[in-house]
Chain A
């Protein structure tokens, strides 16, 4: 239902986002993963209609910003990293105001308000002035304002940043509850968060979309192409040979014990057999071969940082 195609955005001469494409389906929680400056906020701002892409399109249920921006804004709820709140208002009054601004009638707002307060776990704070709320509650009010109008797409920029561990657990529940009947797109630079809440991951690095898929798919992709080799032979010699081999993209020494060394090797494809036979033919002693399946943490580091060798 949400289709992002070839999204590119320059700030001046600087490309903040390059040719990114992905989809978000109803009921799905999609996590945008990347380090600071990877282009997550830019992507989300474009989706929220705050920023115009240099090129590329965003459509939600077939509507795009170029043709019916107002209708699109009605279908989107957006929470930036700093929740935008009128701090002089009471929580319920604020949500009523936003609901009306998003196009709900007064009676629609009144039916919707208790549901939203429940989802955001704000019932006890409904009549409190926002300025007197703690950071965690402000984030929740921010989420509440993003869903008050029952949008098709909810965009949350770093929803858990700045929260303490207890609040993070609460927030996770809140986000899970959101996905019913709509799509949720959130960004984070904290892997464990995305891992636990999202159904689909989109990984950005320096403005480029480097991988996407479910957690399992991404892990599989990595597992297939990353192996740990334990070889007997002069480590520097072996390292040089591995680095020059056609099937190997990168190789690095993990540890050495005398003339036995363990290498982490990233393959260009699933060419384990060839590598192994060539290794043996070369006369090195193959002591072990295993998939490097330290999973997502590794994946994240792998995907979001450029290694020195590359």
Chain B
């Protein structure tokens, strides 16, 4: 029903315009006719309205020719010539209808076209009829306009120019379609969003430099793989640093079925590390687009697997039973999940160490080191004894303190260290988190001591910050419970305007002295008792929330562990080209913030305004 109404309205409007506007309406009537045919064939195609709409449309087109001839008869001379030209344009445009008719089923059936030849027939004629419609229709409309502007005497130049303009416009527009079609068909693209394969990091280079046995790296990729092209330089650099111990081979998986079967590589897109009979395997997709993420952190992946291959698995024990921070803590400032993952990547097993595991008796012999992560309540005396005995026999401790938690007086005194009671605060350099005064306890520092644990940090001293979310000061007591003289080295310090906030108001009171506080201390026993310990005044510095955002804190955690177990020659950054999340640690943020929003626009406005005003004033004064 709606279809019929639409057809009636369109036909009525088209014919009405054609009759009411004898000068410019003919073309509009013609367009109305074409629109009806289009509606009939496409919008109502297959429905009841298809036939009436098409028939009425063709009739309207026919009537528009009649109207044109009538208009032509009413004028003379150049105007008649213009109408005649418009008539020709109209005929050319109407040719579109005929060409379209060629693509309809009755015609193609009569020609016996089927399958591919039918498609080709339809596609090629379908490209022609819009061009005809444009090439006839646009000049015709422009001629109608010229006729409307010059109803009495049409300048002959106007006629030729209107036709020339119309044809140029029609072909200009018609050109747009094939150009875009071709561009879409033969599209080329360059993806330049951030991407780089990692370079080998120092710790990985150190690792391959110290290889005792040969390691083979086997890459399974087809010859034309872009991923392979990106990876090979990385592995070649490793091979060069290994002094011949590390060998790189590239295989196309289907061409080496025996090898593939032996290594259980079922497809291309795998990297296999082999040392003797032991192998490590990981996937990096052969399609570069899918491999991007993996390639950005290739160094870390390779190091993880190399460590598993060349180092025996070691065990890190995490003391439990006193409310310590740990991998499953609900509070993200105390959750140590990322730390655990980092240790696993360094080829550690991370095990709980509580009363069940014999914490009151002795530290297990297989312990590489023990983590004491800010217990809320005091350790049992027996546990302290067990740890002291562990220290005596050359064990390693990673101790985290935290304000409001147990100060571990006995254990730390044994190491010759004590921690403060109150959190430290700094009013000038801190990390904004809650945007309140409490943020002043969120210390960020680049003051590193000279020590193996901070060698990497110092190398990039101005790039990264170590972040401590509410920390206590660590100090030397002057004597140790452990046998022999110990060497204490402050490894992280605060800035000099940091105070111990005893009253908890985060304001620096008159008796709150600002000074450099030690935030982390390394302790090393004498050669007879080669124990090692790192005491850090804030457990949050190893929490998930900090490790994922502060590269400096992550380096501190991993390098501390490496030093504790004597792997300090492997210390160094794991290189990563992963996108990092934007963090701000400077108070200059505010400056940037307002500078960006107001500063630059105001500057532009001021300079522009000054320029315009001066120009105008200068002109006016000269004139007086």
Contacts and interface: CB of A to CB of B under 8 A. Distances in A.
B152 A15 contact: yes
B436 interface: no
Interface string B112-155: 00000000000000000000000000000000000001111111
B158 A52 contact: yes
Interface in A48-66: 52-55, 65-66
Interface in A98-133: 125, 127-129, 131-133
A131 B151 CA distance: 41
Interface string B612-624: 0001101110110
B150 A54 contact: yes
A12 interface: yes
Nearest to B153: A54
Contact of B620 (A53, A55, A129): A129
A65 B619 CA distance: 39
B580 interface: no
Given A10-B151, A12-B151, A54-B152, A129 B616 contact: yes
Contacts of A132: 616, 619-620, 623
B183 interface: no
B157 interface: yes
A13 interface: yes
- Which residue, of A12, A54, A55, A66, has the highest number of chain B Cβ atoms within 10 A? A54
A55 B151 contact: no
A54 B159 CA distance: 11
Contacts of A10: 150-153
Contacts of A125: 622-623
Contacts, number: 46
Given A12-B151, A15-B152, A128 B619 contact: yes
A46 to B, nearest CB: 10
B157 to A, nearest CB: 5
B157 A66 contact: yes
Contacts of A52: 155, 157-158
A8 B619 CA distance: 45
A145 to B, nearest CB: 18
A255 B122 CA distance: 91
B71 to A, nearest CB: 16
Nearest to A10: B152
A129 B155 contact: no
Contact of B623 (A53, A54, A65, A133): A133
A81 B31 CA distance: 42
A55 B619 contact: no
A251 B533 CA distance: 132
B149 to A, nearest CB: 8
A55 B623 contact: no
Nearest to B612: A88
A55 B155 CA distance: 6
Contacts of B150: 10, 54
A128 B618 CA distance: 8
A119 B268 CA distance: 86
A53 B156 CA distance: 10
A148 to B, nearest CB: 20
Contact of B153 (A55, A128, A129): A55
Contacts of A15: 152
Given A10-B150, A54-B150, A131 B619 contact: yes
Contacts of A128: 619-620, 622-623
A90 interface: yes
A131 B153 contact: no
A15 B153 CA distance: 10
A39 to B, nearest CB: 15
Interface in B42-71: none
Interface string A127-152: 11101110000000000000000000
A44 B153 CA distance: 20
A30 to B, nearest CB: 24
B158 A90 contact: no
A53 B616 contact: no
A131 B623 CA distance: 11
Contacts of B157: 52, 65-66
A167 to B, nearest CB: 15
A37 B207 CA distance: 98
Interface string B432-458: 000000000000000000000000000
A205 B152 CA distance: 21
A222 to B, nearest CB: 33
B164 to A, nearest CB: 13
Nearest to B150: A54
A8 B622 contact: no
Contacts of B618: 129
A46 B616 CA distance: 36
Interface string B152-178: 111101100000000000000000000
Interface in A10-34: 10, 12-13, 15
B615 A53 contact: no
Contacts of A13: 151-152
Nearest to B152: A10
Contacts of A53: 155
Nearest to A90: B619
A52 B146 CA distance: 11
A134 to B, nearest CB: 8
Nearest to A56: B155
B620 A8 contact: no
27 contacts: A8-B153, A10-B151, A10-B153, A12-B151, A12-B152, A13-B151, A15-B152, A52-B155, A52-B158, A54-B150, A54-B152, A54-B153, A54-B154, A55-B153, A65-B157, A66-B157, A125-B622, A127-B619, A128-B619, A128-B622, A129-B615, A129-B616, A129-B618, A129-B619, A129-B620, A132-B619, A132-B620
Interface of B: 78, 149-155, 157-158, 615-616, 618-620, 622-623
Which 9 residue pairs across A and B have the least CB separation, nearest first? A129-B619, A54-B153, A10-B152, A132-B620, A128-B623, A132-B619, A52-B155, A128-B619, A132-B623
Interface of A: 8, 10, 12-13, 15, 52-55, 65-66, 90, 125, 127-129, 131-133
Given A52-B158, A65-B157, A132-B623, 18 more contacts: A8-B153, A10-B151, A12-B151, A12-B152, A52-B157, A54-B150, A54-B154, A54-B155, A55-B78, A55-B155, A66-B157, A125-B623, A128-B622, A128-B623, A129-B620, A131-B616, A132-B616, A133-B623
